[in-house]
A and B are shown apart, each in its own frame.
Chain A
Amino acid sequence: MSDLNGLRIADRKHIGLAEMLKGGVIMDVTNAEQAKIAEDAGAVSVMALERVPADIRKEGGVARMSPVKKIKEIQQTVTIPVMAKVRIGHFVEAQILEALAVDYIDESEVLTPADEHFHIDKFAFRIPFVCGCRDLGEALRRIGEGAAMIRTKGEAGSGNIVEAVRHMRALVSGIRRLTTLAPEELMTEAKTLGAPYELVRWVAKAGKLPVPNFSAGGIATPADAALMMQLGAEAVFVGSGIFKSSDPAKRARAIVQATTHFKDPDVLARVSEDLGDAMVGLEISKLPEKELLQTRGW
């Protein structure tokens, strides 16, 4: 068990697995065949889900945890860690994933929420959780519940990077702001953020989150991945961006290279050449408010 200022957070071995994934690309897959393509392209991990976000958006209906059979097939096919998504608050889907020995659970806004008030108590599980956030307060609430990794939400299935950028900038500037506050200001700040005081104090001193911080939601090109890394992401999740493009294997390889060499424009130019068509993107401001995935969870 790890603790910060007396507050329990996720186990070191679970935060440690997220550390091992840094500088890598975690790719959404719906079946074993896609998982194999992802692993061969250099993914550090695959995320099993029922449908990629772009299809969830298009087809509608309730989006749930991936079928058990699909998860088992994916686990048998690849040697990299296998993650899977559960609905926000659906702790029984999480219990099933724990029984399957999935390596990481994503309590995700991309699926239809099962609970409109409460997220899962992540300390009740022997496997780690990653959760989405749009700002510092949301990140610290999830870490307080036991998340071992945070990812900014972006807008999944949009193929548009603007929300991912907004959320990463909000998070990074929220952290930076905390480091400028005097000790007596931190309790009020904790109240404003709606975040545990112990975590607020820790972040104010350390200038970073106590768990790794990755980026998700809208990455469609190698340049998008490198942009998020330069803005402070420590790894990236790519959902629809790969398997909704015209040449998934090639695009996946390019995004892997771009995530490693994110500071090297010569490499970025080279890997961005001749990738075929990217997924078709959506103009976020034209989406009705109720179709946004990022506003799920609190």
Chain B
Amino acid sequence: MEQTILEIRDLVKKYEDETILNGLNLQIRRGEVVVVLGPSGCGKSTLLRCMNALESIQGGQISLEGETVEKSSKNITMIRQKIGMVFQSYELFPHKTILENITLAPVHVQKRSLSDVEEEALALLKRVGLSGKENAYPRQLSGGQKQRAAIVRALCMHPEIMLFDEVTAALDPEMVREVLDVILELANEGMTMVIVTHEMQFARAVADRVLFIEGGQIVEESDPESFFTNPSTQRAKAFLQTFEFHKEQKKDS
């Protein structure tokens, strides 16, 4: 049995009176790729944000390698360094070049030497097909390029786990592929990942485990093959059907 890296117990998240996550339990093993699916507004993104303590939680516990992940805890900046997060809207820093974006946190937070980090950053940029873009500003890149740079920025912190929050949702269709390929490659290298996505084909290809969330709880949890071919709950079935289109026979006029 592989070792559990992230554990969530009875997680409750409320915005004022509205309950977003209601007693959610989840264990993620090292090297596992978990894809989170569910209708919009079901709490998928909130779950990711809780895992990184960007949200305060109202109940339960989240722990990473045995350490509590909590917004108010003293060593939260230490814990966040182990959790890489990639956002839907990239969130590169617009006033810094791509290389500066990547080296900023490793140099100032982790106190690593600039030349080492730069060397690593350039190698990673090359791997994701962004050689020659290191001195460009974010606004000079396409959406897909920005997102790949954002992934490199998170990777350069040497995280134990990566969180992807609908990272292709803001991209033009032809740019989705280049970003997903990078994530697939990371999965093959054994990176632990939690991915929120609406790309079903991709989910099926990358996932070790699929979670279907609705109403703030995990409704269904299974391996991708059985989830996509034969979902066991009615809600998951209904959800998957919304992605299918059948050609309607045109009526004779």
Partners in one complex: no
B interface residues, Cβ below 8 angstroms from A: none
